[in-house]
């Protein structure tokens, strides 16, 4: 080795390649070891033992999907399972490395709350608006362009953008923003924003309160947070992002609904309000800068608490900081999470109303109804194994079948609720319904296809011309001059294999497939 170090630059390159190959070998070996540890329990289920007398991690996915999980994803799952107070961890088919815990995981605890397995985009969610507009009305690209332009006048896209960037948005001032954050989709909030009151019943949760069940507690905390002028100004600037998409993987898509050819699921879809062969609109976004600020503030506060108290981070990872739910730190986190979640809920409802108004500008008289709104970055207290526990879903979505106690008294009690599962604009998205088998995953499924390429690798390896032409070949247009390479369909897992994982694991069945006709992303407006 000394001789190599003292040699000419060429041999230094050989040494570098040798070291890189050794690192790759160790990484591959670690992945192989993790996969060898899996105990296969079904065609799309497995368990990963973690030792220390803990129940194993549940892994959902067919063999090709499981093979896509890297060693770091498995290690984060193990770290999460061994963290204080955690009783269960599930890896879904879209699992990949996240903030402390993997994206695409479920983490359950009867006593503790973890900000990491919720993430910085609190209550990032999916929603679906169904219209009675037949597919034939948007076959022509010019008509789709007109709708895109109408939406662009009302709904901004991109990080940091808000109402001031578009001429036909809703005006949200400080008092209304305060009400949104503390009340969620209350009748008063919906009336002020011109959103149908009936849509609240189509939300997974229309509003969130403080842990004591009070709105007043949230109001007192928000008032305290805005006591200083600069903080109040920042809050109000975030309020003005209400009714907007962010960047990254956030999107809006016009879809054509194709109901299942199986009569039971077809009838179920019709009962929910889906219309075969008609246009629907699928949205993915969250709590924007408002939720991000709350989440980052809590991460800083909890890390400071750990450091000042001399507590050790689980597996030495500060991103797995936590608090007991009934501690002062835990109560503050739950309050802040609730306000971020309230903002996300109303953000989605307002976007859907603005999108409906946009379609009506081009197609006067069409009707539209919200099918469902469902989140995938939230901690909720739910019954698991006979007791109430905090179910953290990070990039995972709720999946409650018909007859589940949490659906009692809702319109979905006898059917189960819709599960909105985005794939990609080329290969489509899915609407599913949970089955009893979802109990194995804490009544959760994946929130989408999951990445197979990092953003950096996608930008480096995918060809822009191929991406854009591929979408055009599938009759999909967008608001972007060039489609974001890091959001290209090939940056994501094979959606067919992901759906196969869900169905073969017995978690859910498909009710309808969605085919994209146009996409709104964070990008430059397209030419007319």
Q: What whole-number distance in Å separates Cα of residue 233 and Cα of residue 194?
A: 25
**Residue 340 marked ligand-binding:** no
Q: CA-CA distances (angstroms) from residue 251 to 284, 358, 429, 453?
A: 5, 16, 13, 19
Q: Residue 161: what pLDDT? A: 72
Pair (22, 153) in one structural domain: no
Q: How many residues are recorded in the chain?
A: 528
- Contact between 97 and 74 under an 8 Å Cβ cutoff? The reply is no
First to last CA, the chain: 63
**Residue 429 marked ligand-binding:** yes
| Structural domain includes residue 506 | yes
| Structural domain includes residue 180 | yes
**Residue 455 belongs to a domain with what CATH number?**
3.90.1860.10
**Residue 184 marked ligand-binding:** no
**Residue 521 marked ligand-binding:** yes
- Contact between 498 and 396 under an 8 Å Cβ cutoff? The reply is no
**Residue 237 marked ligand-binding:** no
What is the residue range of 20's domain? 1-30
Q: Residue 32: what pLDDT? A: 64
Pair (189, 322) in one structural domain: yes
Residues 6+ positions from 388 with CB-CB distance below 8 Å: 110, 381, 382
Catalytic residues: 447
| Structural domain includes residue 101 | no
At 196, list the tokens: 């149908």
Residue-wise pLDDT for 24-39, tens only, equals 444 445 556 777 889 9
**Residue 474 marked ligand-binding:** no
Residue among 460, 489, 497, 487 at smallest CA distance from 473: 489
| Structural domain includes residue 78 | no
Q: Helix, strand, or coil here: 168? A: coil
Q: Pairing mode, if any, of strands 508-520 and 477-478?
A: parallel
**Residue 194 marked ligand-binding:** no
The alpha carbons of the chain give a radius of gyration, in whole angstroms, of 23
**Residue 252 marked ligand-binding:** yes
Pair (20, 158) in one structural domain: no
**Residue 253 marked ligand-binding:** yes
**Residue 250 marked ligand-binding:** yes
Q: Residue 29: what pLDDT? A: 55
Q: Residue 524: what pLDDT? A: 41
Question: In the chain, how many domains are there?
Answer: 2
**Residue 500 marked ligand-binding:** no
pTM for this one? 0.92
Pair (18, 158) in one structural domain: no
| Structural domain includes residue 187 | yes
**142 class by beta-carbon count within 10 Å (0-12 exposed, 13-18 middle, 19+ buried):** exposed
| Structural domain includes residue 276 | yes
Q: What whole-number distance in Å separates Cα of residue 501 and Cα of residue 483?
A: 29
Q: What is the DSSP letter of 257?
A: E
Pair (26, 131) in one structural domain: no
**Residue 121 marked ligand-binding:** yes
**Residue 450 marked ligand-binding:** yes
| Structural domain includes residue 291 | yes
| Structural domain includes residue 288 | yes
Torsion of CA 263, 269, 273, 275, to 10 degrees: -70
Neighbours of 181 (CB within 10 A): 30
Pair (377, 502) in one structural domain: yes
**Residue 308 marked ligand-binding:** no
Residue-wise pLDDT for 74-113, tens only, equals 999 999 999 999 999 999 999 999 999 999 999 999 999 9
Q: Residue 228: what pLDDT? A: 87
Alpha-helical regions (H) of 110-258:
141-152, 174-183, 187-193, 215-225, 229-239
Intervals of the chain under pLDDT 70: 1-32, 162-164, 523-528
Q: CA-CA distances (angstroms) from residue 57 to 51, 82, 377, 442?
A: 10, 10, 20, 12
Q: What whole-number distance in Å separates Cα of residue 80 and Cα of residue 74?
A: 10
Concatenated DSSP letters for 417-465?
A: -EEEEEEETTTEEEEEEE-GGGGGGTSEEESS--BSS-HHHHHHHS-HH
Pair (264, 129) in one structural domain: yes
Q: Residue 120: what pLDDT? A: 94
């Amino acid at each position: 080795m000394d001789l190599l170090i003292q040699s000419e630059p060429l041999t230094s390159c050989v040494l570098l390649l040798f070291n890189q190959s050794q690192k790759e070998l160790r990484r591959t070996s670690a992945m192989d070891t993790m996969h060898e540890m899996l105990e296969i329990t079904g065609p799309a289920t497995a368990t990963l033992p973690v030792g220390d007398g803990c129940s194993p991690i549940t892994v959902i996915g067919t063999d090709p999907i499981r093979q896509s999980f890297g060693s770091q994803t498995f290690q984060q799952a193990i770290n999460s399972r061994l963290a204080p107070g955690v009783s269960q961890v599930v890896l879904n088919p879209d699992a990949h490395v996240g903030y402390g815990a993997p994206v695409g995981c479920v983490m359950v605890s009867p006593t503790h709350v973890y900000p990491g397995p919720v993430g910085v985009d609190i209550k990032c969610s999916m929603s679906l608006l169904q219209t009675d507009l037949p597919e034939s009305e948007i076959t022509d690209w010019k008509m789709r362009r007109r709708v895109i332009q109408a939406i662009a006048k009302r709904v901004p896209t991109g990080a940091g953008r808000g109402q001031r960037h578009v001429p036909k948005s809703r005006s949200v001032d400080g008092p209304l923003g305060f009400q949104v954050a503390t009340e969620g989709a209350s009748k008063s909030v919906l009336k002020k924003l011109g959103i149908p009151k009936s849509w609240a019943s189509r939300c997974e949760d229309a509003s969130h309160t403080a842990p004591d069940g009070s709105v007043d507690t949230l109001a007192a905390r928000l008032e305290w947070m805005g006591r200083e002028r600069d903080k109040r100004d920042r809050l109000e600037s975030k309020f003005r992002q209400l009714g907007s998409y962010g960047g990254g993987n956030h999107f809006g898509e016009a879809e054509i609904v194709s109901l299942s050819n199986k009569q039971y699921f077809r009838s179920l879809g019709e009962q929910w309000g889906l219309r075969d062969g008609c246009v629907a609109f699928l949205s993915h976004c969250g709590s924007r800068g408002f939720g991000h600020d709350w989440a980052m503030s809590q991460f800083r506060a909890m890390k400071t608490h750990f450091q000042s108290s001399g507590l050790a981070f689980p597996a030495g990872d500060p991103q797995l900081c936590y608090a007991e739910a009934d501690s002062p730190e835990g109560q503050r986190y739950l309050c802040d999470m609730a306000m971020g979640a309230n903002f996300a809920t109303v953000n989605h409802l307002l976007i859907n109303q603005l999108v409906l108004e946009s379609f009506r500008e081009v197609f006067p008289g069409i009707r539209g109804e919200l099918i469902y709104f469902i989140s995938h970055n939230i901690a909720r207290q739910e019954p698991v194994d006979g007791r109430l526990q905090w179910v953290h879903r990070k990039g995972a979505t709720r999946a409650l079948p018909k007859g589940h106690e949490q659906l009692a008294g809702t319109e979905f009690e006898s059917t189960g609720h819709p599960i909105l599962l985005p794939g990609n604009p080329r290969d489509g998205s899915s609407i599913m319904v949970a089955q009893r088998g979802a109990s194995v995953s804490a009544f959760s499924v994946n929130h989408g296809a999951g990445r197979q390429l990092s953003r950096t690798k996608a930008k480096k390896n995918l060809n822009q011309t191929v991406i854009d032409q591929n979408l055009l070949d599938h009759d999909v247009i967008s608001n972007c001059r060039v489609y974001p390479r890091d959001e290209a369909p090939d940056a994501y897992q094979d959606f067919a294999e992901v759906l196969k994982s869900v169905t073969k694991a017995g978690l859910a069945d498909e009710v309808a497939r969605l085919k994209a006709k146009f996409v709104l992303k964070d990008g430059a407006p397209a030419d007319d």
